Chain A
Amino acid sequence: MNFRMIGRIISFILIVEAIFMLPGMLLCAFGGQSWSAISFLISIAIILAFATGLWLITRKAPKGFFSRDGLVCVGLSWITMSVFGALPFYISHEIPSYIDSLFEIASGFSTTGASILNDVESLSKGILLWRSTSHWLGGMGVLVFLLALVPISGRNDGFTMHLLRAESPGPDVGKLVPRMKQTAIILYGLYILLTVLDFIFLVIGKMPVFDAVCIAIGTAGTGGFGVLNTSIGSYSPYIQTVCTVFMFLFGVNFTCYYLLFCGKIKNVLKDEELHWYLGIAFVCITVITISVRHLYPTFGDTLRHSAFQVGSLLSSTGFSTTDFDIWPALPKAILFSLMFIGASAGSTGGGFKVGRALMAAKIMRRNVRQILYPQRVEVVRMNGRVVDENVLRNTNAYLCTYIIIIIVSFLVVSLDDFTTATNLTAVVSCFNNMGPGLEGIGPTLNYSGYSVLSKIVLIFDMLAGRLEIFPILVLFSRSAWKRR
């Protein structure tokens, strides 16, 4: 393992993190919350000191950097980022316990949006901004951000591919253009463009600018941290509609947007994953609208609430406009199932990913056919293109690991004496980077009741879910820590 190179990359990441803390600090300083501003300053100082130390001891890094280094690097950097990102919460005492702070920031970076705060509105604005900023950074990935900015190795090596693969979601991650730097710039360019559009639409709806910034970057990362206790519920219907549209937009594979920009509309329209993503959304909204029609005064309200909730859970954002915990069983079951599916591959959303679910379904269909006609040879296609058997194998392996982790986490979390539905949805919701669950952790409630052990498990689930399990899981393998 090339620990020096990994350490070097992590030191860069910490510097990026410190830079992104600055807006929060400035907001506190100008808002008159001097203690919060000072705690930001202390955190930044600690981060920079650590980053400098790391940078100094990791000079002369050897060159070899392989896919296992990439995995370990991504896993370690997200953990380091969370450990240090929690500092402003903890030092400012706005979240008194460190484990709660860690939970909050891990939930931020992993774009989960699960919170342990009972009263969000009591927090200072700078802290709220930092919470939402973590969504934005975590959504597209901080390493991708780094790839767009600095040539990490100084040479034109392909090893950056390992970092992109390990950090970006999806079964088959590739570059858009030959140069990694260009690819990262395109991705972040689209990301910033969409975020700014979202912000403009929100401001047009007379949303306060601070709220609009937080909600826009929270939506962009498909995170789900709000700035009000009611999440999005107390904003105007127009704002709720804007949020719905943008949640759907951020759940789409960013490659589609790039193709749109290149004028290849045909390729976008033919994208199978997009068909299914929109199809699932349409069917779910229809069914839910019909089954909750008696709960809301007008058809418009019903449609808006059901579309919002479906968009929120399908894109793994986790905002809410209404307490869906009081909905009947079928819509709740649909929402619960949506948590598993998640957004599209290559988007900022979490979950199992529509594309991967589609692939798993196609593998299943092939297996059934092969049982009926054992001699039959069949390949699996996506968008008309043959999928490599390796990718199929990985999809199967991912599915197994995914289920095992959910079950084990569910067992551990069940040590806390909540209802089965609460515990199960807590695990599923955190692991798929959703945010709210059902019953005890419904949209109006939060995770503060869980024990420290459960919180640690949920933190693991959130990070593992965001990074698609393996970058975090390899850290538990002894061979990941060998010097070789």
Chain B
Amino acid sequence: MKIIVAGYGKVGSALTRQLSAEGYDLTIIDSNRKMLESGQELYDVLGVYGNCATMDVLSEAGVKNADLLIAATNADEVNLLCCLTAHKLNKNIHTIARIRNPEYSEQIVMMRDSLGLSLLVNPEKQAAQEIERLIRYPGFQKRERFAHGRVEIAELRVSADSPLNELPLSQLESETKCHCLVCTVLRNGEAITPRGSFVLKEGDRVFLTATTNELARLLKSLGIVTHKVKRVIICGGGGSAYYLAQMLDKANIDVQIIERSAEKCVHLAELLPNASIVNADASDMTLWESERLTADDAIVAMTGLDELNIIISIYVQSCGVNQIITKLSRTESSAVLDRLALGSVICPKDLCSNTIVGYVRGMKNQTGASIAVHRIADGKAEATEFHVSKDTPNCGVPLRDIKLKKNVLIASILHLSQCLIPNGDSRFYPGDTVIVVSNSDSAISSLNDIFE
């Protein structure tokens, strides 16, 4: 399948990485030669220089034979124009545009329909939704939902005093009295698919799957107390802060936004009548002292600067805040950041590119192809949803007798709308949905790929 990515910025590069690894023919367009150059050197893609909304450049990029155009430049209007032009040149092309200006959010459906776009993505809104879910259902660092919310993969960090510390996985179930399955452990920036003899250590980030009810029980048995959040302090008044404040307001949670620019504060105050907007510098530590932070607070560090977000998170951690959410735009250095206690980390560009990759996989729509893919463990592992068809090998064979590839694990089986966390005796049948967790080095695009 031929895909054109217009705009090689943060989202563009995240998409390029994922899509080129999945074996699509990619062409990238950018008006910055340096960025374009670096893209071509990192990935096996073709670069075209120029303004992606012009017919010349789009034709040069081969829009006439392309199947999909993803417009991810930093200007919403250019993205729309780019998709519009592409449609004029090729009637059958699918188009995805990134639209992030909150002012357009009301008319998003109208724009999608009247301009013939296939999908509109808004990374900031997605980040806000993700953060809202974390705040409303606290306890885990991160939760990913699958199969229409019936299965979740949650992230836990093993601290020194946790009962999980020094616990072999084979004893996990007897220790916690919960039925759950550890899919991936992130240790020193490396994703490990563990076996029963694997012993958890302090500092590990554990990704486990269970039904939603089991997860709540697990929290209780691990002694993780979940406070109901009463106040959320958002540092930085960008687009996602606005979306988040709006959502939290609907959930009746107090919102406080700290923003340095007075102008933005006024603008936010106009848009958000119920939130309290503070014009201050979030890096000013006296500000936090005067706020009298308690365990009932949640802090969301989402200024435009990653460094500042990290510092805020570390500081408020020392003030005794339980729930901290840090927004990072660059996750490449996450192996280093792992050692810091940043709470939950949210990366808008990854969320956004996950959505798009999911769409692309849907477009491919071949038998045995994945339905949805979620990147977990900082993109080092992925959880993929597959339909089991009649042609799938090993149907009805107990899992312990199936030889799977290295670093591949079946995390759950949905049989007749029942979610099953598998053990060695479990088996899958045609018509089921399975969720497979794999190391992202092993490219798995269809269910047949997982077998040895």
Contacts and interface: CB of A to CB of B under 8 A. Distances in A.
B46 A178 contact: yes
Contact of B20 (A66, A156, A162, A388): A156
Given A175-B46, A178-B2, A388-B33, A158 B41 contact: yes
A477 B27 CA distance: 35
Interface string B162-187: 00000000000000000000000000
Contact of A158 (B2, B23, B39): B39
B42 interface: yes
A179 B41 contact: no
Contacts of B20: 156
A148 to B, nearest CB: 13
Interface in B1-55: 2, 20-21, 23, 25-27, 33, 39-47
A161 B36 CA distance: 13
Given A178-B2, A388-B33, A156 B44 contact: yes
Nearest to A162: B41
A177 B27 CA distance: 8
B46 A158 contact: no
A157 B25 contact: no
B40 A158 contact: yes
Contacts of B41: 66-67, 158-159, 161-162
A159 B42 CA distance: 6
A177 B42 contact: no
Contacts of B39: 158
B43 A158 contact: yes
Interface in B43-95: 43-47
Contacts of A181: 44
A155 interface: yes
A175 B41 CA distance: 12
B44 A180 contact: yes
For the complex, would chain B's binding face be called helix, strand, loop or mixed by DSSP majority? mixed
B156 to A, nearest CB: 30
Interface in A62-88: 66-67
Nearest to A183: B46
Given A156-B20, A388-B33, A178 B25 contact: yes
B23 A178 contact: no
Interface in A151-206: 155-162, 174-175, 177-182
Interface residues of A, number: 20
Contacts of A180: 44
B25 A156 contact: no
Contacts of B40: 158, 161, 175
A457 to B, nearest CB: 34
Contacts of B44: 156-158, 160-161, 178-181
Contact of A156 (B21, B27, B33, B47): B21
Give the interface centre of B2, B23, B45 by most chain A CB atoms within 10 Å. Answer: B45
Interface in B282-306: none
A178 B21 contact: no
Nearest to A389: B33
Contacts of B2: 178
A178 B27 contact: yes
B429 to A, nearest CB: 34
Contacts of B42: 157-158
Nearest to A175: B46
Contacts of A177: 25, 46
Contacts of B43: 156-158
Given A157-B42, A158-B41, A158-B42, A178 B26 contact: yes
Contact of B25 (A67, A155, A179): A179
A67 B41 CA distance: 8
Give 5 nearest A-B pairs by CB, closest first.
A178-B46, A178-B25, A158-B43, A156-B44, A158-B42
Interface of A: 66-67, 155-162, 174-175, 177-182, 388, 390
Given A156-B23, A179-B25, A390-B33, 15 more contacts: A66-B41, A156-B43, A157-B42, A158-B39, A158-B40, A158-B44, A161-B40, A161-B44, A174-B46, A177-B46, A178-B2, A178-B26, A178-B44, A178-B45, A181-B44
11 contacts: A155-B21, A156-B44, A157-B42, A158-B41, A158-B43, A158-B44, A162-B41, A175-B46, A178-B26, A178-B46, A182-B25
